[in-house]
Structure formats: structure tokens, C-alpha cells
Amino acid sequence: MPLTDLPLDELRDYRPEIPEPEGFDDFWAATLASARAAGGGEAEYRRVDDPPLATAEVYDVRFPGWDGQPVAGWLLLPTGVSGPLPGVVTYIGYTGGRGRALEHLLWCSAGYAHLVVDSRGQGHATPDPDPSPAPQYVAGFMTRGIDHPDHHYYRRLMTDCVRAVDALAAHPAVDARRVIASGISQGGGLALATAALAGDAVAAALVDVPFLCHYRRGAETASEGPYVEIARYLGWHQARTPEETFATLSYFDGVHFAPRATAPALFSAALMDPVCPPSTVFAAYNRYAGEKDIAVWPFGDHSGGRSAQRERQLRWLAERGLGGARTSG
């Protein structure tokens, strides 16, 4: 697979001029205030014992998200450790859901409380009652509600992600001062957005090969994945100009969340990534306001650094006093 983008030395200085949308902060303040005011009740946790696990307690979770609507998740707690525990909230890649709890044992094994968040409409356990009056033009989620920021799909999903931090921080087993946002691809873009929108409630962010950054560059250069949906929409639907479309998407762009995020963050980028071209990642990373580092995988595709990146994350968190709890024995 060839290199997909700019040389690394150019990427490290890549800071394109991307106009910030008018009223960005007010838009998100009103969105989150409305979601919290809608309530939806306290998060609910139902213990799951099948399959039996000796070192993890698994809970089927429902917590209130956008408009108070219930969002599904898995909560995994390590057995034999004393709390309160640091917590990790994980957001899922594009078209994926929370899957099975057995797929998510790493963070629990490392001594963290781990909340895995289902993506509304993408996962099977969380529907997306779409309030948008606009028709769906392209298969996927990128053009849902693309006529206006108020209607766009990612307004609902990003709100769910912030409310997931609220839910995990309120759990009695969790140290609310040590909640970490994490994800890969779409999940990485959601972790970045959450680090900005949740503010001090996020102690660190793990932002792997993030999607949802510099949409226009992604639509112009990605050869695979969801950015292609935007290009296809613009090619087929000529009633709106590209500027109108990207004006909607700008309210959900990591390049605008990054300057508002101050928690320490570890990013990653892969130089052979055809889905999230590395320039889209660096466009956000270079604007990030908090302490930051980035792992660059020169021969990585969209899988990034795979398990090597997970090992790096564990060490990086421990160096910042955010390591997992140890067993009492």
C-alpha cells in the first residue's frame, strides 16, 4: 500500500486555514444543556454472568443520551481490585456497535473501569429516531441531516458521547477525576470531540487515527471509507453548493474541537491510511490546545499501530498518574 498523503515533515507543520462556524460554542452549549435538561433517568446497570468470567464483572448498561434517549453500553469492572478506579470510555468505529463484552477485555484487565458506548443507529442496541426532515441521499451516516447543523446525525452521537462521560463519572466504582476518552477512527474523532465538550470531566484522551477531522480534505483525498460518502453526495446532489455542505459539517469537525481541548492527549496517525488521510489527523493534532503527543506509523494502514499502540497508551497513561488499579493480593 503506498503513502497516501503529504511527507511527514510537511504534516508536522500542516495548519490549513479552516473558517470556524459562527456560534460554534453557543451551538454546543445549547445542545448539551438541552440533553441534560431532557433527563432520561439515572444510568441502569444489569449484571451479566454469561459467559462467566473470573476476572471481570460485566454489566449491560443504559444511560441517557441525546434528548434523554437511552444509549446502550457495556461496563466492565475488574474483580479483586480496590476502588475508586480510573475509568475509560471507548467510542466505536464507523458502522460498528458495542458488539460483545468479550471483545473489550483489555482495559478491564489493566485495572480500569471500562464503558463501551454503542453508536446510535450503527450498533444494534441503540436506535436513532432521526428528527431530520431532510431526505437521505447517500447510504451511511455522513449525509443524515446534512441540510442543517441542528439536524445532523453527529449532533446526536456526539451528545451521547459526552453523556457517557457523565454516566461513568457518576458510577460509585469510578474516580470521577480520572476518566479517559478513547477510540479508533470514528471513535477517535468522538474522543477528540468529547475532550473538548466535556472539559475538565476528561482527564486524558486517546485519539487513534481519528475520523471526523478536516472533512473537506478527507472528501478530497480519501479513497476508502466514510469521507467518500461526502464526495459521492456532492457529486450526485447538485442543489446545494459544497460550501453549504461543509458549513454544516464544520460544527462537528475535530479541527474546531482541538483548540478547545486541554486534557493530555495521545494521538496516532498512519501514513498509508486510505480512510483517514494523515493530513486530516495532523490538521486537528497541530491545533490541539493541551499537552499532546502523536505516534506515527509509517507503514500503517487504517489499523494504525494495532496492539503496539495499545501498549504505548498503557505506558503513557501510567506516566501521567492515570495507570490502572492493581489487585489487592
Give the pLDDT confidence of 143-161 residue by residue, as tens digits. Answer: 999 999 999 999 999 999 9
Q: Is the pLDDT of residue 83 over 90?
A: no
Q: Smallest Cα–Cα separation from 193: which of 69, 21, 28?
A: 28
Q: What percent of the chain clears pLDDT 70, i.e. is strictly above it?
A: 97
- Beta strands 44-48 and 56-64: pairing type? antiparallel
pLDDT at 181: 99
C-alpha span between 62 and 70 (Å, rounded) = 6
pLDDT at 241: 84
- Residue labelled with grid coordinates 476528561: 202
Lowest mean pLDDT among 161-165, 233-237, 294-298: 233-237
Q: Please, what is the end-to-end C-alpha distance for the chain in angstroms?
A: 48
pLDDT at 130: 78
pLDDT at 238: 72
* Average confidence score pLDDT of the chain: 95
The model scores a pTM over 0.85 = yes
Show which residues are catalytic: 185, 273, 302
Any residues with CB less than 8 A from the CB of 114 and at least 6 apart, and which? 74, 75, 76, 77, 87, 88, 90, 104, 107, 108
Which band of pLDDT confidence, cut at 50, 70 and 90, is reported for residue 3?
A: confident
pLDDT at 90: 98
Tens of pLDDT along 101-133?
999 999 999 999 999 999 999 998 999 987 776
Tens of pLDDT along 211-263?
999 999 999 999 999 999 999 999 987 767 899 999 999 999 999 999 999 99
Tens of pLDDT along 260-282?
999 999 999 999 999 999 999 99
C-alpha span between 227 and 211 (Å, rounded) = 9
pLDDT at 103: 95
pLDDT at 221: 96
Q: What residues are paired with 206 via a beta bridge?
A: 182, 266
Angle formed at CA 192 by CA 79 and CA 233, multiple of 5 degrees: 120
H/E stretch holding 180 reads: strand 174-184
The b/e string for 31-67 (b: 16+ C-beta within 10 A; e otherwise) is bbeebeeeebeebebeebeeeebeebbbbbbbbbbbe
pLDDT at 98: 97
Q: Is the pLDDT of residue 4 over 80?
A: no
C-alpha span between 88 and 314 (Å, rounded) = 12
Tens of pLDDT along 32-72?
999 999 988 999 999 999 889 999 999 999 999 999 999 99
